Structure 1
Amino acid sequence: MVLELSQQQIHLLYACLAESIEDLHDEVIHTDMRELRDSLRDKLHQLQAIQRQVAPLMQREQVVR
């Protein structure tokens, strides 16, 4: 599936991902249960992978300006 996003939507997505990653990272650090921590870490890695895909879209827009 391919999504067409405006530059404003890309910036909003990136900001939301950054905030979610920060919050989830804190949860991973402060969670005592190993199984839950591993699950949270997996989700964190998924969000970071999405953020790495969005980052070039933001850089491309900066080059165009």
Structure 2
Amino acid sequence: MNDTSEKMVYDASDIQRILGIGRSMTYVFLEKVYEDQAPFKVIKIGKLYRVPKKSFDEWLDNP
């Protein structure tokens, strides 16, 4: 199990686990959020997605 408490960014597997969704849906969701840069920020490096923890946590805590 990954400890996400010390991370500054989440990766796709962290988002998948936190939201309890499948792998394919996670990537579809992250691509959409990346295009919109809303409701939280997503950074794309090549094919890798990174989500700033603060941005994601604020969205999750304030739906």
Which TM bucket (shorter chain)?
0.3 to 0.5
Which of structures 1 and 2 has the bigger CA Rg? 1
Instruction: State the TM-score, normalizing by the size of structure 2.
Output: 0.34
* RCO higher in structure (CA 8 A, sep ≥6): 1
